[in-house]
């Protein structure tokens, strides 16, 4: 099983840093393969909740080395929802890489799962975290009050015909989105329909006509300070970028 690793997050940071310095990024420290993937950038400032700065990927398999190289820049610089990330923002950034797996056609818009875990995973134990989540799942279904930090099992792809314009619409959320927002199944589907561009009335009848594809993922999140610490440990030096202050190699608040 291929899982997201810290080396993948490092490579995304390497690629973004190289964009600002005009150099080529170092070669990746992970093996290539073919998988759907996403790169998400968030900004963490003054201990506040991370704020999305870009998230773009592909739902179709592609080579992960070129995929992470392309989408690390596309999500940082060309996500139309946000202005391009500037080099001065680097010390506040965190990068999440996601590898998508286990695509299945759902039997209906409610046929997917959200569960939670009482712990925060790190990149190095992504596979262990995935296995522990499976063990927690049955317990959590019987103890709904135990929801602490919600982690979604399933990401979703929805496809439907807009009844007003007779056009096909689609949208996706990664597995962690619904849990992070605290949405119910119906709220998640409704939000996806709006994300897909549908502006009409959402009815139960329309929800039942939606084609839902569910999938799973592993992910790894790394803050820029952790990236700097990784470089100092493994390469002996931190990146030097004009206008970017040095950081101590630790995630803010740690």
Q: What is the CATH number of the domain that holds 130?
A: 3.30.1490.150
Residue-level pLDDT at 140? 37
Torsion over CA of 87, 93, 99 and 100, rounded to 10 degrees?
A: -110
DSSP string, 95-139: EEEEEEEEEEE-SSTT---EEEESS---GGGHHHHHHHHHHHHHH
If asked whether residues 90 and 32 sit together in one domain, one would say yes
Q: Whose structure tokens read 């039997």?
A: 107
Instruction: Provide, for the chain, the percentages of residues in helix, strand and coil under a 3-state DSSP scheme, each rounded to the nearest 5.
Output: 35, 30, 35
Tell whether 138 and 186 lie within a shared domain.
yes
Question: The pTM is what?
Answer: 0.81
Q: Residue 64's domain is classified under what CATH number?
A: 3.30.700.20
243 located within any domain: no
Helix axes of 6-21 and 64-77: crossing angle, nearest 10 degrees: 50
Q: How far apart are alpha carbons 145 and 155 in whole angstroms?
A: 23
When divided into structural domains, the chain yields a total of: 2
Is 70 a member of any domain? yes
| Beta bridge partners of residue 151, listed in sequence order | 115
- Full domain range(s) for residue 230: 6-101+218-234
Residues of the chain with pLDDT under 50: 116-122, 124, 126, 129-130, 133-134, 136-151, 252-254
- Looking at the fold, whether 115 and 200 belong to one and the same domain comes out as yes
In a domain, 18, yes or no: yes
117 in the same domain as 38: no
């Amino acid at each position: 099983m291929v899982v997201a690793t810290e080396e993948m997050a490092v490579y995304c940071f390497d690629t973004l840093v190289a964009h600002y310095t005009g150099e080529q990024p170092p070669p990746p420290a992970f093996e290539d393969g073919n998988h759907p993937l996403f790169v998400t950038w968030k900004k963490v400032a003054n201990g506040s909740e991370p704020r999305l700065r870009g998230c773009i990927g592909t739902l179709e398999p592609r080579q992960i080395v070129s995929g992470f190289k392309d989408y690390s820049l596309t999500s940082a610089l060309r996500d139309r929802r946000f202005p391009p990330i500037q080099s001065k923002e680097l010390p506040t950034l965190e990068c999440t890489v996601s590898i998508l797996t286990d695509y299945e056609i759902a039997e209906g818009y409610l046929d997917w799962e959200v569960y939670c875990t009482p712990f925060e995973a790190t990149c190095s134990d992504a596979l262990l975290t995935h296995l522990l989540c499976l063990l927690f799942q049955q317990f959590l279904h019987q103890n709904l009050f135990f929801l602490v930090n919600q982690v979604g099992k399933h990401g979703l792809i929805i496809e439907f015909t807009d009844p007003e314009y007779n056009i096909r619409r689609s949208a996706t959320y990664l597995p962690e989105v619904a849990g992070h927002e605290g949405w119910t199944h119906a709220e998640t589907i409704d939000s996806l329909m709006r994300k897909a561009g549908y502006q009409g009335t959402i009815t139960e009848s329309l929800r039942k006509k939606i084609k839902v594809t569910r999938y799973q993922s592993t992910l790894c999140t790394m803050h820029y300070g952790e990236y700097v610490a990784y470089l100092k440990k493994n390469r002996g030096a931190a990146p030097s970028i004009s206008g970017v202050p040095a950081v101590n190699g630790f995630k803010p608040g740690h």
